Amino acid sequence: MQRWKQTSLVLCLIWIALLSTHSVVVQAGASPYHFGFKKSRNGQLPSIEQEGFKPILEKHEAIFMGSSREKELYLTFDNGYENGFTTDVLDVLKEKNVPAAFFVTGHYIQDQPDLMKRMVQEGHLIGNHSWSHPDMTTISSERIREELEKVRVETAKLTGQLEMPYLRPPRGIFDERVLEISRSEGYTSVFWSVAYMDWDTKKQRGKQHAYDNVMAQLHPGAVILLHSVSSDNAAALGQMIEDARKQGYTFKRLDQLKTRQY
Protein backbone atom coordinates (compact mmCIF):
# COMPACT_ATOMS: atom_id res chain seq x y z
CA MET A 1 0.00 0.00 0.00
CA GLN A 2 2.85 2.37 0.90
CA ARG A 3 4.65 1.56 -2.37
CA TRP A 4 1.44 2.26 -4.34
CA LYS A 5 1.11 5.66 -2.66
CA GLN A 6 4.72 6.53 -3.45
CA THR A 7 4.30 5.47 -7.08
CA SER A 8 1.10 7.51 -7.39
CA LEU A 9 2.81 10.55 -5.94
CA VAL A 10 5.72 10.26 -8.39
CA LEU A 11 3.34 9.89 -11.34
CA CYS A 12 1.34 12.89 -10.16
CA LEU A 13 4.47 15.04 -9.91
CA ILE A 14 5.58 13.98 -13.40
CA TRP A 15 2.14 14.82 -14.80
CA ILE A 16 2.20 18.28 -13.18
CA ALA A 17 5.67 18.92 -14.60
CA LEU A 18 4.53 17.87 -18.08
CA LEU A 19 1.49 20.12 -17.89
CA SER A 20 3.64 23.07 -16.78
CA THR A 21 6.13 22.51 -19.61
CA HIS A 22 3.35 22.13 -22.15
CA SER A 23 1.75 25.36 -20.95
CA VAL A 24 4.94 27.34 -21.51
CA VAL A 25 5.39 25.92 -25.01
CA VAL A 26 1.82 26.65 -26.02
CA GLN A 27 1.87 30.16 -24.63
CA ALA A 28 5.28 30.97 -26.06
CA GLY A 29 4.31 29.80 -29.53
CA ALA A 30 0.87 31.41 -29.70
CA SER A 31 0.36 33.81 -32.61
CA PRO A 32 3.80 35.44 -32.88
CA TYR A 33 3.92 38.64 -34.93
CA HIS A 34 6.81 40.47 -36.56
CA PHE A 35 5.97 44.15 -36.42
CA GLY A 36 5.40 45.62 -39.84
CA PHE A 37 3.52 48.55 -41.34
CA LYS A 38 2.60 50.25 -44.58
CA LYS A 39 5.05 53.12 -44.94
CA SER A 40 4.07 56.74 -45.23
CA ARG A 41 4.50 58.06 -48.75
CA ASN A 42 3.68 61.47 -50.21
CA GLY A 43 2.13 62.69 -46.98
CA GLN A 44 -0.17 59.71 -46.50
CA LEU A 45 -0.22 58.25 -43.00
CA PRO A 46 1.37 54.85 -42.35
CA SER A 47 -0.96 51.98 -41.54
CA ILE A 48 -1.06 48.67 -39.66
CA GLU A 49 -4.60 47.87 -40.80
CA GLN A 50 -3.55 44.82 -42.80
CA GLU A 51 -1.03 43.38 -40.35
CA GLY A 52 -3.46 41.48 -38.10
CA PHE A 53 -2.18 42.72 -34.75
CA LYS A 54 -3.87 46.10 -34.46
CA PRO A 55 -6.49 44.90 -31.90
CA ILE A 56 -3.91 43.61 -29.43
CA LEU A 57 -1.78 46.76 -29.76
CA GLU A 58 -4.87 48.79 -28.90
CA LYS A 59 -5.84 46.44 -26.07
CA HIS A 60 -2.45 46.69 -24.38
CA GLU A 61 -1.93 50.39 -25.21
CA ALA A 62 1.24 49.89 -27.24
CA ILE A 63 2.69 52.81 -29.21
CA PHE A 64 2.94 52.77 -32.98
CA MET A 65 2.65 56.50 -33.65
CA GLY A 66 1.45 59.64 -31.97
CA SER A 67 -1.30 62.03 -32.97
CA SER A 68 -1.65 62.60 -36.71
CA ARG A 69 -2.94 66.11 -35.89
CA GLU A 70 0.37 67.28 -34.45
CA LYS A 71 3.56 67.88 -36.43
CA GLU A 72 5.62 66.17 -33.75
CA LEU A 73 8.38 63.58 -34.17
CA TYR A 74 9.67 61.07 -31.63
CA LEU A 75 13.23 59.96 -32.24
CA THR A 76 14.21 56.49 -30.95
CA PHE A 77 17.36 54.41 -31.28
CA ASP A 78 17.98 50.71 -30.72
CA ASN A 79 21.33 50.05 -29.00
CA GLY A 80 22.13 46.36 -28.89
CA TYR A 81 25.86 46.94 -29.15
CA GLU A 82 28.23 49.81 -29.83
CA ASN A 83 29.76 50.35 -33.26
CA GLY A 84 31.48 53.67 -32.63
CA PHE A 85 28.74 56.06 -33.76
CA THR A 86 26.63 56.76 -30.66
CA THR A 87 28.99 59.52 -29.54
CA ASP A 88 28.41 61.25 -32.89
CA VAL A 89 24.65 60.78 -32.51
CA LEU A 90 24.69 62.28 -29.02
CA ASP A 91 26.82 65.18 -30.20
CA VAL A 92 24.27 66.02 -32.91
CA LEU A 93 21.33 65.70 -30.52
CA LYS A 94 23.04 68.01 -28.05
CA GLU A 95 23.91 70.57 -30.72
CA LYS A 96 20.38 70.56 -32.13
CA ASN A 97 18.69 70.35 -28.69
CA VAL A 98 16.70 67.25 -29.66
CA PRO A 99 15.57 64.59 -27.15
CA ALA A 100 15.60 60.89 -27.93
CA ALA A 101 14.94 57.48 -26.43
CA PHE A 102 17.63 54.79 -26.49
CA PHE A 103 16.49 51.18 -26.13
CA VAL A 104 19.37 49.19 -24.65
CA THR A 105 20.27 45.57 -23.99
CA GLY A 106 22.27 44.06 -21.15
CA HIS A 107 25.34 43.87 -23.34
CA TYR A 108 25.18 47.61 -23.97
CA ILE A 109 24.77 48.39 -20.28
CA GLN A 110 27.85 46.36 -19.40
CA ASP A 111 29.93 47.47 -22.37
CA GLN A 112 29.14 51.19 -22.56
CA PRO A 113 28.58 52.65 -19.07
CA ASP A 114 29.90 56.09 -20.00
CA LEU A 115 27.56 56.46 -22.98
CA MET A 116 24.66 55.27 -20.83
CA LYS A 117 25.43 57.92 -18.23
CA ARG A 118 25.78 60.58 -20.91
CA MET A 119 22.36 59.72 -22.37
CA VAL A 120 20.65 60.40 -19.06
CA GLN A 121 22.78 63.43 -18.18
CA GLU A 122 21.83 65.07 -21.48
CA GLY A 123 18.11 64.54 -20.99
CA HIS A 124 17.41 61.44 -23.03
CA LEU A 125 15.31 58.46 -22.00
CA ILE A 126 16.66 54.94 -21.74
CA GLY A 127 14.21 52.23 -22.70
CA ASN A 128 14.22 48.46 -22.18
CA HIS A 129 15.29 46.23 -25.08
CA SER A 130 15.67 43.13 -22.85
CA TRP A 131 18.84 41.78 -21.26
CA SER A 132 19.88 39.17 -23.84
CA HIS A 133 17.73 40.15 -26.87
CA PRO A 134 15.71 36.92 -27.13
CA ASP A 135 12.57 36.27 -29.12
CA MET A 136 10.30 36.80 -26.13
CA THR A 137 7.45 34.77 -27.65
CA THR A 138 9.58 31.63 -27.18
CA ILE A 139 10.55 32.03 -23.53
CA SER A 140 8.61 31.58 -20.31
CA SER A 141 6.69 34.36 -18.65
CA GLU A 142 9.08 34.24 -15.71
CA ARG A 143 12.06 34.63 -18.04
CA ILE A 144 10.44 37.64 -19.73
CA ARG A 145 10.09 39.33 -16.37
CA GLU A 146 13.70 38.52 -15.48
CA GLU A 147 14.97 39.92 -18.80
CA LEU A 148 13.14 43.19 -18.28
CA GLU A 149 13.84 43.61 -14.59
CA LYS A 150 17.58 43.12 -14.96
CA VAL A 151 17.81 45.91 -17.54
CA ARG A 152 15.74 48.23 -15.36
CA VAL A 153 17.75 47.56 -12.20
CA GLU A 154 21.18 47.78 -13.82
CA THR A 155 20.27 50.96 -15.70
CA ALA A 156 19.10 52.57 -12.45
CA LYS A 157 22.31 51.59 -10.67
CA LEU A 158 24.47 52.95 -13.44
CA THR A 159 22.67 56.14 -14.47
CA GLY A 160 20.25 57.07 -11.70
CA GLN A 161 17.27 56.76 -14.05
CA LEU A 162 14.85 55.13 -11.63
CA GLU A 163 11.82 54.90 -13.90
CA MET A 164 11.81 52.86 -17.11
CA PRO A 165 8.32 52.97 -18.60
CA TYR A 166 9.13 52.03 -22.22
CA LEU A 167 9.96 48.71 -23.82
CA ARG A 168 10.80 47.71 -27.37
CA PRO A 169 10.45 43.95 -27.95
CA PRO A 170 13.64 42.52 -29.48
CA ARG A 171 13.47 42.28 -33.28
CA GLY A 172 9.90 43.56 -33.12
CA ILE A 173 8.64 40.02 -32.40
CA PHE A 174 5.70 39.77 -30.02
CA ASP A 175 2.40 38.13 -29.23
CA GLU A 176 -0.42 38.98 -26.87
CA ARG A 177 1.27 37.23 -23.94
CA VAL A 178 4.41 39.34 -24.36
CA LEU A 179 2.40 42.58 -24.48
CA GLU A 180 0.26 41.52 -21.53
CA ILE A 181 3.21 40.63 -19.31
CA SER A 182 5.10 43.76 -20.32
CA ARG A 183 2.09 45.92 -19.47
CA SER A 184 1.65 44.18 -16.11
CA GLU A 185 5.29 45.02 -15.33
CA GLY A 186 4.60 48.70 -15.95
CA TYR A 187 5.86 49.01 -19.52
CA THR A 188 4.41 50.62 -22.61
CA SER A 189 5.56 48.67 -25.67
CA VAL A 190 6.95 51.01 -28.32
CA PHE A 191 6.99 50.11 -32.00
CA TRP A 192 7.51 52.59 -34.85
CA SER A 193 6.03 54.27 -37.92
CA VAL A 194 9.24 55.33 -39.68
CA ALA A 195 12.09 52.87 -40.31
CA TYR A 196 14.31 51.41 -42.99
CA MET A 197 16.88 48.62 -43.26
CA ASP A 198 19.71 50.38 -41.45
CA TRP A 199 20.98 47.73 -39.03
CA ASP A 200 23.27 45.75 -41.33
CA THR A 201 26.71 47.29 -40.86
CA LYS A 202 27.97 45.53 -44.00
CA LYS A 203 25.35 47.24 -46.16
CA GLN A 204 25.81 50.91 -45.36
CA ARG A 205 25.16 53.05 -48.42
CA GLY A 206 26.03 56.56 -47.35
CA LYS A 207 24.55 59.67 -45.76
CA GLN A 208 22.16 60.40 -48.63
CA HIS A 209 20.62 56.93 -48.46
CA ALA A 210 19.72 57.37 -44.79
CA TYR A 211 18.47 60.90 -45.32
CA ASP A 212 16.25 59.98 -48.29
CA ASN A 213 14.69 56.96 -46.55
CA VAL A 214 13.76 58.81 -43.38
CA MET A 215 12.65 62.09 -44.92
CA ALA A 216 10.41 60.32 -47.45
CA GLN A 217 8.45 58.75 -44.59
CA LEU A 218 7.98 61.73 -42.27
CA HIS A 219 4.44 62.30 -41.06
CA PRO A 220 2.76 63.94 -38.07
CA GLY A 221 3.17 61.87 -34.92
CA ALA A 222 5.97 59.72 -36.32
CA VAL A 223 7.88 57.39 -34.02
CA ILE A 224 11.20 57.09 -35.83
CA LEU A 225 13.32 53.96 -35.37
CA LEU A 226 17.04 54.23 -36.11
CA HIS A 227 19.92 51.93 -35.22
CA SER A 228 22.96 53.65 -33.77
CA VAL A 229 25.31 51.06 -35.31
CA SER A 230 24.65 52.69 -38.69
CA SER A 231 27.31 55.05 -39.99
CA ASP A 232 24.73 56.35 -42.48
CA ASN A 233 22.41 57.46 -39.68
CA ALA A 234 25.16 59.20 -37.74
CA ALA A 235 26.22 61.11 -40.86
CA ALA A 236 22.70 62.13 -41.89
CA LEU A 237 21.10 62.88 -38.52
CA GLY A 238 21.95 66.58 -38.34
CA GLN A 239 20.53 67.31 -41.78
CA MET A 240 17.42 65.24 -41.04
CA ILE A 241 16.72 67.31 -37.95
CA GLU A 242 17.31 70.65 -39.64
CA ASP A 243 15.15 69.85 -42.66
CA ALA A 244 12.35 68.31 -40.59
CA ARG A 245 12.20 71.55 -38.62
CA LYS A 246 12.05 73.52 -41.86
CA GLN A 247 8.92 71.51 -42.66
CA GLY A 248 7.36 72.65 -39.39
CA TYR A 249 8.10 69.59 -37.26
CA THR A 250 9.18 69.65 -33.62
CA PHE A 251 10.95 66.86 -31.76
CA LYS A 252 9.50 65.49 -28.53
CA ARG A 253 10.48 62.83 -25.99
CA LEU A 254 8.36 59.69 -25.80
CA ASP A 255 7.01 60.72 -22.42
CA GLN A 256 5.48 63.78 -24.12
CA LEU A 257 3.39 61.59 -26.42
CA LYS A 258 -0.16 62.08 -25.13
CA THR A 259 -2.40 60.81 -27.92
CA ARG A 260 -1.56 57.66 -29.83
CA GLN A 261 -3.06 56.48 -33.07
CA TYR A 262 -3.52 53.07 -34.63
Active site residues: 78, 227
CB 225 within 8 A of CB 46: no
Long-range contacts of 31-36 (CB under 8 A, 24+ apart): 31/175, 31/176, 32/135, 32/137, 32/173, 32/174, 32/175, 33/173, 33/174, 33/175, 34/171, 34/172, 34/173, 35/169, 35/172, 35/173, 35/174, 35/191, 35/192, 36/172
- Spell 50-74 as b/e; 16+ CB within 10 A means b: eeebeebbeebebbbbbeeeebbbb
Distances (CA, A) of 109 to 31, 112, 114, 223: 31, 6, 9, 24
Distance CA 252, CA 75 (A): 8
Distance CA 58, CA 112 (A): 35
**φ and ψ at 44, to 5 degrees?**
-75, 145
CB 159 within 8 A of CB 122: no
Distance CA 224, CA 216 (A): 12
Count CB neighbours of 6 within 10 A. 10
